Chains A and B, each alone.
Chain A
């Protein structure tokens, strides 16, 4: 299938790479189908923990997402059971967490949304944006506050 995107032009995507968000992403309810896109950047491949989550339905919509483990290795949000059910997961550990980054011009102002992570079931290719009920993790966590190096990987 071909997707016309604002950032990357026309991309060929295999159907089995599509991740369906049955409830959409907050504020973007018209987008249900996404895929992870890693455009080679300045001639080198983009690292595995970082990707664009590109909408299939709306070429203008893409989020820069990362594996939180690379910067916040102790991040362990408790995903509500209802959200696990949305993506067909029996256990949270079988899913993959992603967080959305907001990247202003100054690198010191980069924040990641730890309050509303994305949970993906890689086997079923289903995703959901979770809003954590407790406020232990902020909506705008500065990336510069990350202290240690984590082992990060991400679904393909």
Chain B
């Protein structure tokens, strides 16, 4: 990984049209947070990495359902939604 040192209000360019700027640094005593400004064309998706990782994890979980009873269970759950029944608690 390329590591650069930047001061507040200094930027990095990724290619010609993506600018990443250090806006502010807060905190102290080993607990800092950095505010980052991003200027990028609209077609560039900007996401916190946690969200991206969570979507991948959710997709993996969804794809691991190999048993046909998944269909049964979702149909059953929707039947309950349609009936407008309150959620049952416990067996």
Contacts and interface: CB of A to CB of B under 8 A. Distances in A.
B74 to A, nearest CB: 5
Interface residues of B, number: 36
Contact of A107 (B55, B73, B84): B73
B47 interface: yes
B59 A7 contact: no
Nearest to A113: B58
Contacts of B74: 50, 64, 66, 101, 103, 107, 110, 143
Nearest to A25: B59
A6 B82 CA distance: 31
A107 B58 contact: no
Contacts, number: 113
A71 B80 CA distance: 10
A155 interface: no
A82 B55 CA distance: 18
Interface residues on A, range: 35 or more
B65 to A, nearest CB: 6
Contacts of A60: 63
A147 to B, nearest CB: 7
B1 interface: no
B66 interface: yes
B29 interface: no
B8 interface: no
A133 interface: yes
A148 B69 CA distance: 24
12 contacts: A26-B59, A27-B56, A28-B63, A60-B63, A82-B42, A82-B43, A102-B61, A105-B73, A139-B55, A139-B58, A140-B58, A149-B81
